[in-house]
């Protein structure tokens, strides 16, 4: 479905967003399983989704391509898994998501992780931050930003790890699709109005 291709006689609408969804996840945990199935389901529904390519992560710092994709995405889906906090890449990505979208554009999934571990940085998150504090002992502000972002994002309502994956993916797609509807309706109305203006001129 493309709401831009209304008539070949007129220029297409300029979309406000390049992507409907930005997927944030720890590749080693979920790339070949849950996240891949979720991405496929979103694309099947016609929801334009960005997920990073492993090639982008070869550098030590988060790539400009990912920052650009985040800024051009309407929503973000964050898959918080056991080793999410062990990746400085994921943590930088999370900080950027909150800067761009805050709570209004974020769907949170606790995948095989307790929400309280995320909020309080206990369990595997505690171990990850012990390493970060040692590694970045000369940049405590960076570590504080990561901790703050996790605490903030864990306060959003999220999907429980107790769901069957197929049901969870179905519900996530439905939530995103419903959230996109006002945007789709608005664009369709704008297009109709443009066509009326052209017809009246």
Catalytic residue chosen out of the listed positions 55, 93, 134, 152: 93
Rounded to whole angstroms, the Cα distance separating 23 from 154 reads 17
Rounded to whole angstroms, the Cα distance separating 177 from 180 reads 5
Q: For residue 109, what is the enclosing H or E element?
A: strand 106-110
Q: Is 152 a catalytic residue?
A: no
**70: phi then psi, degrees, rounded to nearest 5:** -60, -45
Q: Residues 103, 48: contact at Cβ < 8 Å?
A: no
Nearest-CA neighbor of 150 among 93, 71, 69?
93
Q: Residues 106, 156: contact at Cβ < 8 Å?
A: yes
Active site residues: 93
């Amino acid at each position: 479905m493309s709401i831009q291709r209304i008539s070949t006689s007129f220029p297409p609408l300029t979309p406000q967003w390049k992507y409907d969804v930005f997927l944030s996840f720890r590749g080693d945990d979920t790339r070949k399983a849950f996240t891949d199935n979720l991405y496929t389901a979103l694309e099947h529904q016609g929801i334009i989704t960005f997920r990073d390519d492993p090639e982008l992560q070869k550098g030590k710092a988060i790539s400009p391509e990912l920052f650009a994709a985040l800024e051009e995405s309407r929503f973000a889906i964050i898959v918080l898994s056991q080793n999410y906090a062990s990746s400085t890449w994921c943590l930088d990505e999370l900080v950027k998501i909150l800067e761009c979208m805050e709570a209004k554009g974020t769907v949170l999934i606790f995948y095989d992780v307790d929400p309280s571990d995320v909020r309080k940085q206990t369990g595997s998150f505690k171990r990850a931050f012990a390493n970060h504090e040692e590694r970045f002992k000369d940049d405590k502000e960076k570590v504080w930003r990561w901790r703050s972002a996790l605490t903030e994002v864990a306060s959003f309502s999220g999907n429980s790890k107790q769901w069957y994956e197929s049901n969870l993916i179905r519900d996530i797609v439905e939530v995103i699709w419903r959230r996109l509807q006002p945007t789709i309706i608005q664009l369709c109305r704008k297009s109709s109005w443009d066509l009326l203006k052209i017809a009246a001129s």
